[in-house]
């Protein structure tokens, strides 16, 4: 396009979209219309384990592909990442690995994700960002667990919604215990806490007396509040 009369379409319409330096960059990736996508592919409600694991697989592939990503956190159809736009790679891995997660299910429509980049200037705000996502995960999952237990026990969706209206976290735990003999804390940690992906430094013995510390990609379902203060959350290259 160099020097042609059409060059103005680049000069005048393409803006500099560089992110400011010295920030923690979060890329939040979220499935588009997954309410419908999860229905079409008969995801188990409220949590389809295979679908969640497929999201974890995509996140792990991201950390493998892009060394600058230090941490990923995911819940539901959403995955937050510390790096610039990776949504296309994430989507490709999702499609490529679909068969491994769902050997008996055909992919019926192309999955796609939206993504946004947000900059957090220091460790406190990036930690608070992750805490915000995890608190959201807890609130949604506790609600969804109650909602689907009520629906599966014969209530209509509207009735289930009504009986949960205005209930506190404690009320919901009591509802699960009293009506379904269920202890919320016994639910899978993946459902309650979401997924964290990071590199764990593991010491391996190469030969006798020779040890090497290697970063091993790890998926864990842990409390992020507290975790990110202990874990090596090294600051990105400062300017």
Q: Which residues of the chain form contacts with Mg ion (CB under 5 A)? A: 30-31, 34, 76-78, 114
Number of neighbouring beta carbons within 10 Å of residue 19: 11
Identify residues 59-118 at the interface with ligand ATP (CB under 6 A). Answer: 76-77
Distance in Å, CB of 74 to ligand ATP, minimum? 10
Cα torsion 175, 41, 220, 174 to 10°: value is 0
Which residue, judged by CB position, is nearest to ligand ATP in the bound state? 35
80 binds, options ligand ATP, Mg ion, none, Cβ within 5 to 8 A by partner type: none
Choose one: 39-47, 92-100, 153-161, 201-209; the region binding ligand ATP (CB under 6 A).
Answer: 39-47
Distances in whole angstroms, Cα of residue 38 to Cα of each of 50, 57, 65: 12, 18, 27
Cα torsion 144, 147, 151, 156: sign: negative
> Does residue number 30 form part of the binding site for ligand ATP (CB under 6 A)?
yes
53 binds, options ligand ATP, Mg ion, none, Cβ within 5 to 8 A by partner type: none
Beta-carbon contacts of residue 48 (< 8 Å; ≥ 6 apart): 38
Options 23, 48, 151, 231; binder of ligand ATP; rule CB under 6 A: 48
The two three-digit tokens of residue 178, written as one number = 């009293």
- Determine the distance from the C-alpha atom of residue 98 to the mean position of all C-alpha atoms in its chain, rounded to a whole number: 17
Binding residues vs ligand ATP (CB under 6 A)? 30-35, 38, 43, 45, 47-48, 51-52, 76-77
């Amino acid at each position: 396009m160099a020097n042609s009369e059409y060059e103005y379409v680049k000069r005048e319409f393409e803006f500099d979209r560089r992110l400011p330096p010295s920030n923690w960059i979060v890329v939040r990736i979220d499935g588009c219309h997954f309410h419908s996508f999860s229905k079409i592919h008969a995801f188990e409600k409220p949590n389809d384990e295979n679908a969640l694991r497929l999201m974890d697989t995509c996140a792990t592939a991201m950390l493998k592909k892009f060394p600058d990503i230090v941490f990923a956190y995911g819940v539901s159809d959403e995955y937050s990442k510390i790096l610039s736009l990776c949504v296309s790679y994430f989507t490709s891995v999702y499609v490529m690995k679909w068969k491994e997660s769902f050997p008996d299910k055909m992919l019926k429509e192309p999955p796609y994700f939206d993504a946004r980049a947000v900059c957090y200037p220091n460790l406190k705000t990036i930690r608070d960002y992750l805490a915000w996502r995890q608190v959201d995960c807890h609130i949604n999952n506790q609600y969804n667990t109650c909602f689907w237990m009520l629906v599966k026990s014969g209530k209509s969706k509207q009735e289930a919604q009504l009986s949960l209206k205005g209930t506190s976290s404690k009320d919901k735990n009591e509802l699960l215990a009293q009506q379904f003999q269920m202890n919320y804390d016994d639910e899978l940690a993946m459902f309650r806490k979401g997924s964290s992906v990071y590199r764990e430094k593991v010491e391996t013995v190469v030969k006798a007396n020779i040890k090497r510390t290697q970063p091993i990609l790890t998926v864990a379902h842990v409390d992020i509040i507290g975790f990110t203060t202990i874990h090596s959350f090294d600051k990105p290259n400062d300017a």
